[in-house]
Structure 1
Amino acid sequence: MLLLGCVPLLAHAVEVGERLAPWTLLDQFDRAYSLDGQTRTLLVARSMDGAKLVNAALQDRPAGYLEARHTVFVADIQRMPAVIAKMFAVPAMRDYGYRIMLDRDGRVAPRYAGAVDKVLWLQLDDGRLVAQREYGTAAELRAALEQAQP
């Protein structure tokens, strides 16, 4: 019975070579973003620990740093209490120098399998997954982002 409950989660995992299903999320400013063929890298943080890694890796980076690298950051905040998100977390995110696509309902992040406490890096080519990595430290993630050509 427990195994059957996990089947829907496994069915959503994307494999190398597959095209990612389109989605649209709002960022911390309530501006919509839709995944498109121009995105080269998708960063997915499925927990607060993962989001903190991304924040530390982007410390002191100029505005537009991710966009210049055709990189999109998705934060899964579905487990965060709505009142906390609305009153504290999302307003604090507005001070960051980068966009965060907020997966408030868990519609997007669960599609991409990865460790909850790490940052998932999905390398894309015209919407197709070509490589997948995980980063457990801000230094590793920062080095990978530096190698991504603007």
Structure 2
Amino acid sequence: MKYAIALLLSLTPLLASAADVGERLAPFTLLDQHDQAYSLNAQTRVLLVARNMDAAKLVKAALGEQPKGYLEARDAVFVADIQRMPALISKLFAIPAMRDYNYRVVLDRDGKVVAQYPGAEDKVLWLQLEQGKVVAQKEYASAEALAAALKALPPQ
């Protein structure tokens, strides 16, 4: 019986997807690569989610040589799940390397936020938001398609 309960509890994030169209995203606060807190707010129009390093590389390639503040000007936020990255690697190499990026990477260190959103491991999930509610969701498997979608999103 206790195994059944444990199984049910472990599946709860999959059953209660918080990213269905029409649903309001649960608020969260996470630290970025500069240890600055970011809280999801009503002004956020796009939430980009990467579940692994391959997806994060798509975001990096899509942003390419864009100027600092490119995502922020579009009210877009990039969240990367780094829970599977060994702590020593993230602390000594990965996060310091991210500090050189010209965009903010909000880090989900324990994977609890990203686990709420559906999507393929190797694709970037795009959640289109209005006042914190999901109005559309897409997945991108190529940096070119993601870059085109970001370019089509007018700055605010």
Q: Which TM class, normalised by the smaller chain length?
A: over 0.9
Residue pair 1:39, 1:124 contacting (<8 A) in 2 also: yes
Instruction: Please give the alpha-carbon distance, in whole angstroms, between the structure 1 residues aligned to 2:129 and 2:50.
Output: 17
Residue in 2 that maps onto 1:13? 17
Question: What are the superposed Cα offsets for residues 35-54 of structure 1, whole Å, 9 maximum, x if unpaired?
Answer: 00000000000000000000
Q: Which amino acid aligns with 1:92?
A: A
Distance 1:70 1:24 in 2: 16
Give TM-score, length-normalised by structure 2.
0.92
Give runs of ≥4 in structure 1 deviating > 6 Å: none
Counterpart in the other structure of 1:60:
65
- Give the alignment partner of residue 75 of structure 1, picking from 66, 69, 80: 80
Between the two proteins, what is the percent identity of the paired residues?
Answer: 64
Query: 1:3: how far off?
Result: 6.9
Partner residue of 2:125?
120
What is residue 101 of structure 1 aligned with on the other side?
106
Question: Whose radius of gyration is greater, 1 or 2?
Answer: 2
When normalised by structure 1's length, the TM-score is 0.96
Alpha-carbon RMSD: 1.4
Give the structure 2 partner of residue 22 of structure 1. 27
Query: How far, CA to CA, are the matches of 1:131 and 1:97 in structure 2?
Result: 27
Q: What secondary structure sits across from 2:103 in the alignment?
A: coil
Task: State the alpha-carbon separation in 2 of the partners of residues 81 and 147 from structure 1.
Answer: 36
For residues 8-29 of structure 1, what are the alpha-carbon distances to aligned partners after superposition, in whole Å with 9 as ceiling and x for unaligned?
1313412110110000000000
